[in-house]
């Protein structure tokens, strides 16, 4: 098999391939053009999308040219979901999301050199397409019985599926046909939940053009318990720093499960086989050191948010748990940490700052004032890493980091934050 495909197989990135030998032969024969699409069904891409961008980077590094499609038209329709009809977003909302996602995808690929990336919007070739032309030129190639065989359609038939969602596969297949004609794309990649759409595009090109093209699907990423990867208590892990802060992003991967972290390293990181094997060895021998998790969190934060954001996130995390000075953390990063800790809020009373007891309770570190007092009496309470020994202690202006944030800890690991309103 082709060296690139061998590497993807080792990394667990190939759930399905239409014809591995034929694809490998085409890759060996020279540079190909391939595409992956991103529908703007939200204001940002997420971790599932990042896997496709990392895959595109691997293909580009091997000399193949990526075409990234932002789905201005498919985003108006939406791929059918396993449960329930998708809510259609307003056109102006989708248009704004198209622009945001266009900006996001351009950060992950190279636009210089012989394998320079291209970014396109499928709205450009669908906006002027008439209904009759669409039905005659595209719809005639899709047997209804085959469309009914798709897993998501079978799942939805009993509860109901609209013609809009049922027909989504035609739009995505049209993308492949158009990209084959305009740019010579001969490979489409996507997640395994898109396999039916990917192979439908392959079949459309065979029927319409008599040409052989390829599809490759990556596995869906899950946690050890089988649940979908990329979810936190507050929702999806987004690539937009305004939706998931660099601090929260880094912390999410720092807390990856031991049983899954090596799989994530292989899939997401651009480290060599030897480097990952060494991380796997260290994780097996010294799991408490979490070296693999640190490598995963650092590399991915560098990739998505940049080295400086990662350094700020790690500095803040170290300071929060008493291994650094919180005053060295920027105001912006303090807010990120406070948001991640679901900071409580307290106000001054007659110009006086609140008591440490009240801060411990408002932050969630203590469940009651009695527990807060007991924690202080036992020597287990600290404010901004300074131990508190007086039960009646109050905050001072020096305790307000960035003019408003105070961080408290009970013991070594239970941390919280409070915002003091002026």
Q: Which tokens is 188 given?
A: 């489409």
The per-residue pLDDT for 217 is: 98
The per-residue pLDDT for 230 is: 56
The residue assigned the tokens 């995963």 is: 296
For the chain, domains (ranges, CATH) are: 3-220 (3.40.50.620), 222-335 (1.10.240.10), 341-422 (3.10.290.10)
The per-residue pLDDT for 145 is: 74
The per-residue pLDDT for 8 is: 98
Global pTM value: 0.90
> Measured between alpha carbons, how far is residue 338 from residues 2, 68, 316 in Å?
48, 36, 11
Ranges of residues in the chain whose predicted pLDDT is under 70: 82-84, 229-234, 422
The per-residue pLDDT for 234 is: 53
The per-residue pLDDT for 160 is: 76
Return d(Cα 315, Cα 359) in angstroms, integer: 24
The per-residue pLDDT for 146 is: 78
Strands 381-383, 405-410: pairing is antiparallel
Q: Which tokens is 267 given?
A: 């899939």
Is residue 324 within 8 A of residue 396, CB to CB? The reply is: no
Encode pLDDT of 135-170 as tens digits. 888 988 887 777 777 777 777 777 777 777 888 889
Return d(Cα 317, Cα 249) in angstroms, integer: 12
Return d(Cα 123, Cα 109) in angstroms, integer: 22
The residue assigned the tokens 């007991």 is: 374
The per-residue pLDDT for 226 is: 74
Nearest to 292 by CA among 277, 273, 308: 277
The residue assigned the tokens 């489409």 is: 188
Return d(Cα 272, Cα 266) in angstroms, integer: 9
Cβ-based burial of 153 (10 A; exposed 0-12, middle 13-18, buried ≥19):
middle
Q: What are phi and psi of 255, to 5 degrees?
A: -100, 15
The per-residue pLDDT for 164 is: 79
Encode pLDDT of 14-52 as tens digits. 999 999 999 999 999 999 999 999 999 899 999 999 999
Number of Cβ within 10 Å of residue 22's Cβ equals: 13
Q: Which tokens is 31 given?
A: 């540079």
The per-residue pLDDT for 227 is: 73
The per-residue pLDDT for 375 is: 94
């Amino acid at each position: 098999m082709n060296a690139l495909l061998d590497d993807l197989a080792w990394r667990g990135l190939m759930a399905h391939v239409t014809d591995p030998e034929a694809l490998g032969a085409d890759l060996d024969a020279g540079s190909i053009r391939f595409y992956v699409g991103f529908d703007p069904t939200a204001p940002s891409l997420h971790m599932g999308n990042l896997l496709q961008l990392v895959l595109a980077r691997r293909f580009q590094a091997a000399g193949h040219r990526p075409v990234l499609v932002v789905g201005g038209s498919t985003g108006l329709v939406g791929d059918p979901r396993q449960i329930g009809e998708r809510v259609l977003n307003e056109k102006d909302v989708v248009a704004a999301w198209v622009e945001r996602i266009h900006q996001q995808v351009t950060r992950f690929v190279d636009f210089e050199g012989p394998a320079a990336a291209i970014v396109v919007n499928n709205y450009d070739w669908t906006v002027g397409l008439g209904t009759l032309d669409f039905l005659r030129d595209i719809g005639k190639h899709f047997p209804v019985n085959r469309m009914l065989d798709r897993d998501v359609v079978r799942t939805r038939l009993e509860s109901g599926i609209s013609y809009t969602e049922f027909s989504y596969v035609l739009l995505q297949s049209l993308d492949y046909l158009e990209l084959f004609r305009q740019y010579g794309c001969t490979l489409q990649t996507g997640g395994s939940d898109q396999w039916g759409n990917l192979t439908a595009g392959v079949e459309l090109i065979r029927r319409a053009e008599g040409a052989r093209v390829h599809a490759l699907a990556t596995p869906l990423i899950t946690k050890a318990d089988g649940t979908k990867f990329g979810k936190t208590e507050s929702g999806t892990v987004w690539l937009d720093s305004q939706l998931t802060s660099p601090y929260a992003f880094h912390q999410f991967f720092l807390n990856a499960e031991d049983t899954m972290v090596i799989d994530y390293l292989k899939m997401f990181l651009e480290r060599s086989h030897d480097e990952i094997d060494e991380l796997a060895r260290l994780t097996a021998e010294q799991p408490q050191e979490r070296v693999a998790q640190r490598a995963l969190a650092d590399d991915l934060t560098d990739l998505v948010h940049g080295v400086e954001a990662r350094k700020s996130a790690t500095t803040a995390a170290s300071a929060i748990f008493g291994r650094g000075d919180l005053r060295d953390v920027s105001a912006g990063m303090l807010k990120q940490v406070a948001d991640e800790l679901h900071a409580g809020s307290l106000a001054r009373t007659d110009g006086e700052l609140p008591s440490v007891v009240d801060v411990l309770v408002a932050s969630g570190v203590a469940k009651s004032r009695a527990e807060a007092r007991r924690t202080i009496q036992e020597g287990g309470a600290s404010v901004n890493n300074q131990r508190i020994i007086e039960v009646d202690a109050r905050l001072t202006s020096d305790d307000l980091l960035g003019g408003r944030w105070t961080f408290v800890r009970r013991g070594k690991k239970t941390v919280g934050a409070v915002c003091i309103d002026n």
